Structure 1
């Protein structure tokens, strides 16, 4: 476990977790997640808050470094309907899907209310700047202490780290492609940054208005993934259809291999 992971365990305490295909996932709903996250903020303890879906689990199984980072995170949410369904199939019921963008917005709302500071890191310069403006429209008292695009190289990470340290935010929302996002957060925490870091995927694009979000009925019926595929079929078709099929097959094999182990 990394030094960052050890620090996170101190506050993590005894989160109830399940294991799906070697990936740990917390049995937390959104409300419980927010309450736990705030403990990290109040204690100024570093936290890597991560959401896993079928694609992240598939990627982690092929990438030992990513798997180690994911499993060492202080809070690991199920950010995918397929993961929640898999938990029920394996009789390890997760309470609900904790959608990344919904959790981010809830934490932003909390930040305005409690005057916690926020740093936006990632996406194109125009997108992250529009995201900051849109958030301030919705939450006028929000304390945004840093806005930076994600177009930098690994050799620039120490510079980025120094900027984050200087701003000393309570929350850093990171809109960078995985697994670079996870590697960057690990670096920033190991470099002494004590913020709550949350990867937010394409949330900046949605908040800024660059791409639309699925209508409410699709969100409520767990069809948001389909809306995303229809928006970007070339990029997302393989991830969702091939990736989910692979994930489902692996879950089925795990269930029956566990049954065989019990028989033995």
Structure 2
């Protein structure tokens, strides 16, 4: 039994758009992922999934297939809304990668060798520098920026193998990062893989985080839209209503299946 399957036996998950999403609070999530980082067999790939990721998944069967084999953690208000509609309660915690990964690095008190892939070269170098200041007992290794040929990435994969990593953090955007990891990264390369989207931009300070009050109110997306309207307006101004429509549509489908199971 692989690590994700073993976890499924002992912890509940909630189905969101027919995708299992972990139902964990912060302490349980940190404890469990820390154990995965020290595993001596198998591999776990963790994906942080938000409303945008869900919309991508609904239109990309390959992405859904990859996510179904990963350990999926809930990221953001959209997942809470979907959970309330389908299950009557929000997720116990907002396990977004921007907050969870730095917290995990602090929680992992045993030194790890951690590789970084993704982003622009200057961004990933600065992110590695800040990670080292944040958790100096770990060894952070910059493997590659994200601007390599994804169809011909043997050099990057060989460097991952050469570095003898415990953990690999990949930030290349959805669904590219998940597909690339599934196609190229084996348990021999790293036991734990985190796919983190734009994390390196935030950790490096290239992209500022929203003020704490906005994060507390779950309005960080408003701040990001204000800062990058040209890039993000479709995701939020079109994506949010579309996501809410899909939540309602899926809920009606679930209700219809319960009322008419033989239909």
Q: TM-score of the superposition, structure 2-length normalised? A: 0.91
Q: Aligned pair 1:181/2:181, yes or no?
A: no
Give 1:191 shift.
7.4
Give 2:189's aligned residue.
Answer: 193
Among 96, 101, 110, which residue is 1:99 paired with? Answer: 96
Give 1:61's aligned residue.
Answer: 58
Q: Which runs of 5+ in 2 are unaligned?
A: none
Give 1:190 shift.
4.1
Paired residues of 2:168 and 2:190 also in contact (CA < 8 A): no
Q: Give the Cα–Cα distance (whole angstroms) in 2 for the partners of residues 253 and 155 of structure 1.
A: 37
Paired residues of 1:46 and 1:196 also in contact (CA < 8 A): yes
Aligned pairs for 1:95-174 within 5 A: 95-111=92-108, 113-174=109-170
Paired residues of 1:157 and 1:184 also in contact (CA < 8 A): no
Q: Give the Cα–Cα distance (whole angstroms) in 2 for the partners of residues 193 and 147 of structure 1.
A: 12
Q: Give the Cα–Cα distance (whole angstroms) in 2 for the partners of residues 105 and 205 of structure 1.
A: 13
Give 1:72 shift.
1.0
1:161-208 deviations in whole A, cap 9, x for unaligned?
221112122211111021110111112334742331111111111111
> Which one is further off, 211-220 or 16-25?
16-25
Q: Give the Cα–Cα distance (whole angstroms) in 2 for the partners of residues 52 and 98 of structure 1.
A: 9
1:76-126 deviations in whole A, cap 9, x for unaligned?
111121111210121253212111111110122134x21112111110000
Q: Give the Cα–Cα distance (whole angstroms) in 2 for the partners of residues 217 and 27 of structure 1.
A: 25
Task: State the secondary structure of the residue aligned to 2:152.
Answer: helix
Give 1:247's aligned residue.
Answer: 243
Give 1:3's aligned residue.
Answer: none
Paired residues of 1:90 and 1:255 also in contact (CA < 8 A): yes
Q: Which runs of 5+ in 1 are unaligned?
A: 1-5
Give 1:36's aligned residue.
Answer: 32
RMSD: 1.8
1:136-178 deviations in whole A, cap 9, x for unaligned?
2233333113442111012332221221112122211111021
Question: Residues 140 and 194 from structure 1, CA distance in 2 versus in 1: closer, same or farther, beyond 3 angstroms?
Answer: closer
Q: After the TM superposition, which parts of structure 1 deviate over 4 Å for at least 4 consecutive aligned residues?
A: none
Aligned pairs for 1:43-58 within 5 A: 43-44=39-40, 45-58=42-55
Q: Give the Cα–Cα distance (whole angstroms) in 2 for the partners of residues 96 and 197 of structure 1.
A: 21
Q: TM-score of the superposition, structure 1-length normalised? A: 0.90
Aligned residues: 257
